[in-house]
Structure 1
Amino acid sequence: MIRPCVMALACATLTALALPVMAQEPTGAAATAEQTALEQRSAQVVAVMNGELEPDEVFTPDFIAALPPAQIKAFSTSLTAQFGAAVDVALLTPRDGTRAALHIRFERGLAKGGIAIDPAAENRVSELRITQVDSIAPEGDTPDKIAADLAALPGTVNARFAPLDGGAPVISIGADTPLALGSTFKLYILAALAEDVKAGKRKWSDVVPLSVKSFPSGRLQDWPQGAPLTLHTLAALMISISDNTATDQLIDLLGRERILRLMRDSGHAATGANEPFLTTRELFLLKGGDAARLAAYQAGDSAARAAILADIEANPVTLEELNAAFAGGPKALDVEWLASPADLAGLLSRMRRTGDDKAFGIMAINPSATPAIKANWDYIGFKGGSEPGVLNLTWLLRDKAGAWHVLTLGWNNPAASLDQGALEGIAQRILLLPR
């Protein structure tokens, strides 16, 4: 599905869990005679995070009933994919009793929250709250190490981390290789709108009635037809929560050719691969509908594709059919919006020159950054996108000295769904690099 990509994925999961923590000798974690029961159980939580202990060896039956082991393991895998292995208990205050503040150090992060044990249940963990995870830079991390980790991901990866308007890149992999973007394509719509506003052709306060509908992600698909919305509201929903209906409403307003012209003007090297410029609904109908129609679209030139799109509403699909179509994994990654790191850098550079400044406030609503990363930059704007087999993360950044930078990471794999946390973890390492 075309949906927002949130870097702090593990943080969001953690915050949502108020995890409902045995008197046997601990296993899978170091224990000494001097350790309190709370210390032993805290160390075992670290082992669970690393997959070295089974959850039902550590947590109370009530905890397991509320959060089954499979969910605990999935949660732990998400954390370690993003922040590396859990290393140790960095803070436990107080260290005795049955309840304490808890910090767990990961290779690239520090998880903060609390823990409680139940003496009546063999001192098993009865509560585990993790309310925040801060990124930390791994000791000795370098651009070369990061580039090697990117190159090792299965499938095809492209990347660029560099000054926005010239200067040697810090990381560059396949900078001219176009990949499917997912919802990152919405930056082209924002850029065209911001350019029109700056040129005086439109105003952010202009109101349009809601007249088109797409599928989630988003909220506007559930709003009534004709609901009045400002251009600023549509753009903010499109970027911050990747609202697909807001996106298609703006495409309808601006026109496909206006967005394609912006794409060409920004220096996109292969605009033809994006013709005709798809709406999100069209992409869903193509991939979730008739297989022969999808194959014809893939094989056709721009004129043939346009003819297919002109008749696409004749065979609509339901949300259930769409979910089923994507449940099988990656599908037709060439039926997408395509751009390279160089293309996206050119787009952001043009936006800085020709777009109204409010566009950058919109990009900053959801910066997809941990507190440590936010402290490292003066401005952070973000848009990401994904569907099975597709992931893109793109940031516009301004450092403390006022210099602008771009970080864009793309990953496509037509053979398998992607580990989003792996790419997000690499992105965090890049954003924490000293400059």
Structure 2
Amino acid sequence: MRHVLATLALGALVLTAAPLAAQAEPPAKAAAAEQTPLEKRAGQVVALLNGKADPADIFTAGFRAAVADAQIVTLSASLVAQFGPATDVALLVPSDGRRANLEIRFERGLAKGVIAIDPVDGNRVNELVFTSVDSLAVANDNAQKIAADLAALPGSVNAWFGPLEGGAPVISLGADTPLALGSAFKLYVLAALAEDVKAGRRKWSDVVPLTEKSYPSGRLQDWPEGSPVTLHTLASLMISISDNTATDQLIKVLGKERILKLMKDSGHADPSANDPFLTTKQLFILKAGNSQTLADWRSGDPAKQAIIEVVQVAEEDPSLDQINAAFANGPKALDVEWFASPADLAKLFGHMRRNADPKVFDIMAISPSATAAIKANWSYIGFKGGSEPGVINLTWLLTDKAGRDWVLTLGWNNPAAVVDDGKLEGIAQRILLLPR
């Protein structure tokens, strides 16, 4: 998953993640007659993270010029959504200087970083950096609590966690309910390719010229047209960094009908929901295009849809700025997407285990989106997720120490508001830390 590592620092603001899972015992607090300036400010940071303090009362003017108050509030809310409320300062060393190593405990996490104050400016904070946020196992957490938290999310949610073949699921919520997948649809492209490789129709080492170009995420959109790339490279970039150009190139190589056949063969309940099968570029252009083009696509008229596919929707490709602008105001046209249910995705993995070339699972494991503690619990972890405003999907294939495959897939769609990726990622971590 995209990791959430909040960095609030003078001149820099970064949102990524690096959760690790290990419960730390709170250090014994030394008795003190009076708090030092650093201790006071650290305590205010706890209140700030919980939305109970104003950035203007804590940070220097220089810090706030570099990192807007609204950004600070948004970052704080994201951390609390993922890890629960901040509870206390777990570590401040040294506590009596101007700069110190800082650890703040959340209900389900431990943020580690640095804090500094400016004595010339009323001991206001001029540096606050969280270099990692470690997930902590939650005492008395269980599948019932997690399922309730999933059900309480606004919009539509589906979830499934359990053994791939046989055995009752640990968590099942809307298991047969299809939702938009975002880039998790790329698992179907990958599966079709891997099946062709196993059948001898293609080789991972086959080289194709780069002819398709999409929009980020990815890197290949910046490569020269005609660059020779292997199918293995395209698949690896598609899964590990969700490269959209690599995806569209593979769709071109395989053919849309081949991928739809794979969907049907794998047991997808309604492959027609993905027909016509969109490339990532077509999705971007449809969402960024004019209302008539979108209406023509939605009409279901095969002739209109065929024309849109042939001409790539527009005579001239929109600029990246135009694409970004189309997604800047929240969810848009969530019916223009790729769709599957948790049951569909579990069946896909079962189909891949039986029919795909085994190297495909190495590709899925390049970016497993798992913490050190989670990796210690499983002998194999493969992952693909996807998101756009209003859509997130997180899907894992895992193998336990006994060699048994498991699936965790979580989906969340909300056409009315941007979904909180961090909150769903936090729930996923809780599931993967559950005792089995």
User: Does the alignment reach a TM-score above 0.5?
Assistant: yes
Alignment deviations for residues 109-138 of structure 1 (CA, whole Å, 9 cap, x no partner): 111112222333322222222111111122
What is the 5 A alignment of 1:130-279?
130-279=130-279
Do the aligned partners of 1:285 and 1:316 also contact (CA within 8 Å) in 2? no
2: CA distance, partners of 1:323 / 1:41: 38
Query: How many residues are matched?
Result: 416
Q: How many angstroms does 1:178 deviate by?
A: 0.7
Do the aligned partners of 2:293 and 2:313 also contact (CA within 8 Å) in 1? no
Q: How many angstroms does 1:429 deviate by?
A: 1.2
What's 1:422 paired with? 423
1: CA distance, partners of 2:119 / 2:149: 44
Do the aligned partners of 1:114 and 1:129 also contact (CA within 8 Å) in 2? yes
Q: How many angstroms does 1:187 deviate by?
A: 0.3
AA matched with 2:416? A
Do the aligned partners of 1:275 and 1:302 also contact (CA within 8 Å) in 2? no
1: CA distance, partners of 2:60 / 2:365: 42
1: CA distance, partners of 2:290 / 2:65: 42
Percent identity, aligned pairs only, is 69
Alignment deviations for residues 79-115 of structure 1 (CA, whole Å, 9 cap, x no partner): 1111111111112223322222211111111111122
2: CA distance, partners of 1:129 / 1:307: 52
AA matched with 2:354? R
What's 1:391 paired with? 392
What's 2:98 paired with? 98
2: CA distance, partners of 1:151 / 1:343: 20
2: CA distance, partners of 1:112 / 1:60: 21
Q: How many angstroms does 1:265 deviate by?
A: 1.0
What is the 5 A alignment of 1:342-381?
342-381=343-382
C-alpha distance 304-346 of structure 1, shift in aligned 2 (>3 A): farther
What's 2:113 paired with? 113
2: CA distance, partners of 1:287 / 1:169: 36
Pairwise CA RMSD: 1.9
| Most deviating of 402-411 and 296-305 | 296-305
What is the 5 A alignment of 1:276-295?
276-295=276-295
Alignment deviations for residues 27-49 of structure 1 (CA, whole Å, 9 cap, x no partner): xxxx9743222222211111111
Alignment deviations for residues 343-374 of structure 1 (CA, whole Å, 9 cap, x no partner): 00011111122222222222122222233323
Do the aligned partners of 1:135 and 1:373 also contact (CA within 8 Å) in 2? no
Q: How many angstroms does 1:314 deviate by?
A: 4.6
Q: How many angstroms does 1:301 deviate by?
A: 5.5
2: CA distance, partners of 1:414 / 1:122: 45
| Most deviating of 63-72 and 334-343 | 63-72
AA matched with 2:427? I
What's 2:37 paired with? 37
Q: How many angstroms does 1:77 deviate by?
A: 1.5
What's 2:14 paired with? none
Q: How many angstroms does 1:278 deviate by?
A: 1.1
1: CA distance, partners of 2:241 / 2:208: 20
What is the 5 A alignment of 1:391-410?
391-410=392-411
What's 1:338 paired with? 339
SS at match of 1:141: coil
2: CA distance, partners of 1:52 / 1:32: 25
AA matched with 2:251? I
SS at match of 1:172: strand
C-alpha distance 410-100 of structure 1, shift in aligned 2 (>3 A): same
| Most deviating of 411-420 and 245-254 | 411-420
SS at match of 1:335: coil
2: CA distance, partners of 1:353 / 1:147: 31
AA matched with 1:410? G
What's 1:321 paired with? 322
Q: How many angstroms does 1:313 deviate by?
A: 4.3
TM (norm. structure 1) is 0.91
| Most deviating of 155-164 and 353-362 | 353-362
What's 2:18 paired with? none
AA matched with 1:385? G
2: CA distance, partners of 1:404 / 1:301: 42
1: CA distance, partners of 2:107 / 2:68: 26
1: CA distance, partners of 2:43 / 2:377: 31
What's 1:26 paired with? none
Do the aligned partners of 2:297 and 2:305 also contact (CA within 8 Å) in 1? yes
C-alpha distance 308-61 of structure 1, shift in aligned 2 (>3 A): closer
Alignment deviations for residues 129-184 of structure 1 (CA, whole Å, 9 cap, x no partner): 21111111222111111111111111111110111112100110110111111100
Do the aligned partners of 1:50 and 1:85 also contact (CA within 8 Å) in 2? yes
AA matched with 1:377? W
2: CA distance, partners of 1:42 / 1:88: 9
SS at match of 1:327: coil
| Most deviating of 219-228 and 323-332 | 323-332
SS at match of 2:177: coil
SS at match of 1:225: coil
| Most deviating of 82-91 and 298-307 | 298-307
| Most deviating of 412-421 and 340-349 | 412-421
Do the aligned partners of 2:331 and 2:389 also contact (CA within 8 Å) in 1? yes
2: CA distance, partners of 1:132 / 1:227: 38
2: CA distance, partners of 1:119 / 1:309: 63
AA matched with 1:338? F
Q: How many angstroms does 1:376 deviate by?
A: 2.9
2: CA distance, partners of 1:332 / 1:57: 41
2: CA distance, partners of 1:92 / 1:405: 41
Do the aligned partners of 1:282 and 1:309 also contact (CA within 8 Å) in 2? yes
Q: How many angstroms does 1:19 deviate by?
A: 4.4
TM (norm. structure 2) is 0.90
Q: How many angstroms does 1:413 deviate by?
A: 1.4
AA matched with 2:402? A
SS at match of 2:91: strand
2: CA distance, partners of 1:186 / 1:224: 23
